[in-house]
Amino acid sequence: MAQAEALKGALHAAHLVIEGPSCPTQRCFHALDYFYDPAQALQYAIRWGRIWVDHRLTKDAARRVLTISPASSREVLLKGERADQAGDHE
């Protein structure tokens, strides 16, 4: 949820709350930046949130790829080499 909060001095703070299936705990980001136009504050919070979620999903995907153990990686390579060698003998 993105929000533009009116402050003193005609400024608006861009706030953001992220929750959902990709984020198991609620994340709150207050006063990401300040704007004179409330629409700009709202747009900024939305864009910032999308970037944060995309970055988190990319980071999680990379972490999953890196968690493959070296032994299982070697096993996959060995199976591939055996298949290649079997094809050479025919």
Full domain range(s) for residue 42: 2-88
Residue 17 φ then ψ, to 5°: -125, 125
Res 40 pLDDT > 70: yes
Q: How many domains does the chain have?
A: 1
Mean pLDDT to the nearest integer, 51-76: 74
The answer to whether 66 touches 36, Cβ cutoff 8 Å, is no
Res 10 pLDDT > 50: yes
Of residues 69 and 10, more confidently modeled: 10
- Residue 25 to residue 42: CA distance in whole angstroms: 22
Average pLDDT, the chain: 82
pTM for the full model? 0.67
Of residues 46 and 66, more confidently modeled: 46
